[in-house]
Each structure stands twice: as structure tokens, then as C-alpha cells.
A and B are shown apart, each in its own frame.
Chain A
Amino acid sequence: MVTTATPVQVVYKRPTSLSDIPTHYCPGCTHGIAHRLIAEVMDEMNIRDKTIGVAPVGCSVFAYNYFTCDFVEAAHGRAPAMATGIKRVLPDRVVFTYQGDGDMASIGMSEIIHAAGRGENLTVIFINNAIYGMTGGQMAPTTLPGQKTTSSPNGRDVETMGFPMKMAELLSQLDGAGYVVRRSLHDPKNIRMAKKAIRLAFETQVHGLGFSMVELLSTCNTNWGISVLESIQWLEDHMIPAYPIGDYKVSPAVANLKV
């Protein structure tokens, strides 16, 4: 009898830039999706070997465990400054920070604005989940008006607690920014768009075209106090209207990049 071998096609495998270890994130958390997208981009661009990541303080404090590239761990909010120090000494390496909304838009507001303003050739992956995840669900600068958190138990009252910080809009105003966009991680189509944006952000850096940031609308079902499915719906219903997905700054040089 003659047998013919069926060609084997790999349709899914772990990126080599992603470590093969169990996750500490809650089931359903979108941090894991963001990690995977970054790792896939590192693989595709073949830059793992010359990439240095800067982890934040927040749920992703252990981000360095999940990537196989070099990493350092910053003080809360200071990742853009630490990344600046590394990149200035090693300009031919790829340096990225991974930051939550408390880390970046609250305690680290000064560092991120100035890194963008200087046009540092860094890539920032910004996880906006509208809450302080790690410390148990307190109000973040990105918490929506009326949103209940453990430190805004009656909902965020903008009269006394101020308005949400729109980081993509804010940073896009700076001349040093080459590429600033907002994407979301709530469904496959948006996840694919997020990956493209992450790729373009790293390309911006590799081509020396200035500061790049991808804001990723994310979920924290644990501290939002709802199920995983509900959290995805909540993101779509409430976060996207407040934080529209879009390209806020694409400099002409970045727009001309062929990926």
C-alpha cells in the first residue's frame, strides 16, 4: 500500500521571545494578550537579541519573567526615565517600556511627557485598564466618571476627583512624538489591529523616528468585580466611547514606513 504524508503546517506556536512559564495574571486578564503581541513582534522583527525591556510597578511588575530578552525593573512611574538612560548609552538597541495607567498617567506623568517631548527613540506599551490593578482596585487617573473603585466607592465624581487622563491625545501634542495611537484588546479584530500598531511603534524606534506609544484598552475583571465576558462588554460599552480607538499622531516619516 502506498501512503502519502500529509503536510504538517504549524498554525500556532509560542513566540521565542515569550518565556515558557505559567502566568501569574488573573484568568481573562488582557496583560497576557499584550505580552504575546509584543513577543510576536520581536520575533517577526528579529530584534529579541538587542531588545531591553523596562518593567513597571503594577500587575505587570514581573513582565521580565515572560520575555526572553534582557530586562530591567523600574521604580513606579519612572520607566521612561530609566529607558532613556539605557537608550542614550546604547542607541543601537531597542528599548521599550511596559506601563499601566497608574504607573504612567499618575505617578509617572512627568517622566512620560518629557520622554515624549525629547523625542526619545523609545517604544511605550501603555495598558489602560481604568484602575489600579495590583493594589486592589483603587481609582486611577483613567477611571471613568461615575466608575466605582475601592477609593471612589460612590463612583468617580469629576467635581472632586477630576477627569480621566487621555494619554494618547495628550502625548500626540508633542513634537517629539513620532507615533501615538490607541487600540483595544477586547476582540480578535482589535487584537490584530493592536499588533500592527505595536509593530509600527517598534519600527518607528528602529528607524530613529522618535517617541512611539501604543495605548491598549484593557480589562481588569478581577478589580472591576465582574466576569471575564462582562468585562469585555464593559470595555466596549464604556471605555471605547471615552477613549476612542484611533491614530493620534503618525508623523509623515512614520506614515511612509513600509512594514
Chain B
Amino acid sequence: MSKELLKGNIAMAEAAVRAGVEAYFGYPITPQTELLEWMSERLPALGRTFLQAESEVAAINMLYGAACTGARVMISSSSPGISLMMEGLSYIAGTEVPVVLIDVMRGGPGLGNIAPSQGDYNQIVHGGGHGDYHPIVLAPSSVQEAIDLTVLAFDLAEKYRSIVFVVADGNIGQMMEPAELPPMRPVRTEYPDWAVRGSMGQARHFLSSIYIEPKDEEVANYRMMQVWKRVQENEIRYQEYYLDDAEITVVGFGTAGRIALSAVRNARLQGVKAGLFRPISLNPFPIDELEKISQHTKKLLVVEMNTGQMLNDVQRAVKGKIPIDFYARLGGIVPFPDEILAEILRINQEEIPLEGDPRQRWMKRFAPVINWKN
């Protein structure tokens, strides 16, 4: 295979096709619609299932049904649509069937806008649906990584009978970049022994999220936690840049991480020892790795396209050992590398307090940027 110029949404869709996705359900919403459109052409041509549902509520429940047959299944949407899927997601989690979801995040809350955002972090990483469950969440920062993580998502979903999210933002979804697609894998012909496919002469199966006896639900919750423990032990993913001697470490995921890398490189050119830590698995979050980094680096700068949802997880990892500052653009605005560079240079000069809320310090610094007057 060779590299070709690919748009993020289409690259993820085609990656799923080549990973052997058997059924896709969706509903149009910008900025992920090209993904749905691609599937509408590709899947029927390959004799696989595509269906545009009447709503995201229906789509996620179609996905749930299809997942119960043991088929490789996927859904995609953007923030408001993902909100509608939370009910179904909780049932899927409770039934422990594998599914892959792609969220191409946009500005919110509410209808918000169609520009890139990272505002769904909490909803996806820390739950969203009711009850105790833990989805695996992967965040790409390039089209190539979006392809690779989409393929990985199917394997992880099946390995752990888990929900796997690929969280991109409007930027990754809409951007065109040279990237290489994986070879076509054959569609599976064997299905897991828990699959509901009609008993066909074998023992009957049923799948549900009901454990009417609390003592059974307790065991089910505990079992899911055991699975999650294995995920935490084996599926932490991240990328480090220039961290060997970094005194200032920027932490950012997805598009924010990618832009921060340009800023870090520019800071290096100016003689500042900056580095970047880019979490790829947002869940499980690389807590231990960040803690280790906090032993070598002097200051952290967390950069997000939300009001600091991942910041809380970073603080949990660092445990107040080194000072953290925060920088964000909100509501669909993507930061420029120069904004982040300015922050790195400022932090290089200034003392940052260990105490206090990095978010509030940022709000003060940020107010003039949006002409906010008190």
C-alpha cells in the first residue's frame, strides 16, 4: 500500500471497512457526515449492512442489536448525536458486547456549532450513560493515526467485549493529509460463543443488561471492573516528544496535542527545553506515565479545546508535585501554535504556584483575548 491524500472522516470509514466492519448505523450530523456517506456506498456494494436510522437513539439501538449477533459493528456521530446515544451505550456496556464508536467532536454545549472541539471529553471518558462502566477511548492527532486507531478499536472491542471510542474533532475529520490505508481483511466467518444468532441446533443464548438480583448485579459490576483492570494494565497508549531533558512539558491530546507539538519545536528553536506528552488512550488514562514525568520535568502546561476536562485527570496523576498551568480555546476555536508558544515562553520566565486552580489563572489571563470585561 502507498500513501494517498485522504480526508479524516473518509479515512476512518475506509479503515473500518478494511478492518472487516459488518454493519454500520448512523444519522447525518456535521462534521462527521462524510463518514456516513462513505459507508452508504461501500457497505452495500460489499454485501454488508448499512442503515441510516431515524435518529441517533434508534441508530445506537440498532448497533446494540447487531452487536448481539457477534458481528463487527460501528457507529459514528458528532457531539449532539453522541448525547442521544448515551442510553443505548449504557445498555451495551451492561450487556458486555463489543462496539466501536467514532465521535467527531464539535463546539457545544447544546447545538453549539460545527467547528472542532474537545468538549465531549468528560461525557465519553468519565461515563455519560448511567451506571458503572468504562469505555476505552482513543484520540488520534492525524489522519494516519485516525486510521490506525480505528482498526485497533475493533480488535480491542472484541478482545475485552468493550465499548471503544475513537474521539476525533472536526479538524481531524475534515483535514486532508497523506496517509496509508491498511490492507483489506476478510470478514469474519466465525462468531463468539456468546453471540445471539438463533440457536441453530445448539444451546440457546440470550443477552441482556438485566441483573434483577442486586447480588448478581454486584458480581457483574465487579467482573466488568476486573476486565477494566486488564485494560488498564495493557492498553495505555501515549506519545512523548523531546521529553528526555524537558523542563516544561506540555500535555495535550488530539488536535490540541498536534498544535502543541509545533509550539514545542519552536520553543526548542528558541533554546527553551520544552517537550510534549500526548495521551492517545484517554481511557485508560496514562496516570503512571504522567506521574513519572512529573519527577523529571519542572512545570506542566495542559492545553485543551475545552475548559480543562482532561486537566482534572492530569492533576490526579501529578498529585500537586509540580506546578501546572492551563491554556485553552473554547467553543470551536482551535489554538494557534503561537498562542501555545507564548504560554511556554511565559511559563519559562514566571514562577507558577503549586497551589491554586490553574483554570482560574488561565481565565484571568484569557479574558483580554475575548475582550471580556468585568
Contacts and interface: CB of A to CB of B under 8 A. Distances in A.
Contacts of A64: 206, 208
Given A70-B197, A88-B49, A89-B22, A82 B65 contact: yes
A162 to B, nearest CB: 22
Nearest to B50: A88
B62 interface: yes
B74 to A, nearest CB: 12
A70 B57 contact: no
Contacts of B207: 71-73
Contacts of A55: 208
A78 B208 contact: no
A90 to B, nearest CB: 6
A194 interface: no
Interface stretch (A43-51, A132-140, A144-152, A232-240): A43-51
Contacts of A61: 210
A114 B207 CA distance: 24
Contacts of B313: none
A88 B198 contact: no
B64 A70 contact: no
Nearest to A51: B198
B229 interface: no
A114 B65 contact: no
A50 B65 contact: no
Contacts of B277: none
Contacts of B73: 85
Contact of B58 (A50, A54, A114): A114
B64 A85 contact: yes
Interface string A39-75: 0000000001111101100000110100011111111
A8 to B, nearest CB: 30
Contact of A85 (B25, B198, B199): B25
A217 B210 CA distance: 27
A84 B199 contact: no
Given A72-B208, A73-B210, A84 B51 contact: yes
A81 B62 contact: yes
Contact of B65 (A48, A49, A54, A110): A54
Contacts of B292: none
A39 to B, nearest CB: 13
B199 A49 contact: yes
Interface residues of B, number: 39
Contacts of B65: 54, 72, 74, 81-86, 89
Nearest to B66: A85
A84 B206 contact: no
B200 interface: yes
Nearest to B25: A85
A110 B66 contact: no
Best-surrounded residue of A68, A90, A93 (most CB of chain B within 10 A): A90
Interface string B51-81: 1011101110111111111010100000000
A169 interface: no
B125 interface: no
Contact of B197 (A90, A110, A114): A90
Nearest to A114: B54
B287 interface: no
B357 to A, nearest CB: 39
B54 A70 contact: no
A55 B71 CA distance: 20
Interface in A70-108: 70-75, 78, 81-86, 88-90, 93-94
A247 interface: no
B89 to A, nearest CB: 10
A111 B54 CA distance: 8
A200 B208 CA distance: 29
Nearest to A76: B87
A79 to B, nearest CB: 8
B252 interface: no
A241 to B, nearest CB: 33
Contacts of B95: 72
A62 B213 CA distance: 13
A122 B226 CA distance: 38
Given A48-B199, A110-B57, A73 B62 contact: no
Given A86-B196, A88-B23, A88-B51, A68 B204 contact: yes
B88 interface: yes
A55 B206 CA distance: 10
Given A70-B197, A110-B54, A111-B61, A75 B206 contact: no
Contacts of B64: 74-75, 78, 81-82, 85
B268 interface: no
Interface in A158-178: none
B200 A49 contact: yes
B201 interface: yes
Given A70-B199, A72-B68, 6 more contacts: A71-B207, A73-B207, A73-B208, A74-B61, A81-B64, A110-B57
30 contacts: A49-B198, A55-B208, A69-B198, A69-B199, A70-B198, A71-B208, A72-B196, A72-B208, A73-B206, A74-B91, A75-B87, A75-B91, A78-B64, A78-B88, A81-B59, A81-B62, A84-B58, A85-B68, A85-B73, A86-B65, A86-B66, A88-B62, A89-B23, A89-B49, A89-B69, A90-B197, A93-B197, A93-B198, A110-B58, A111-B58
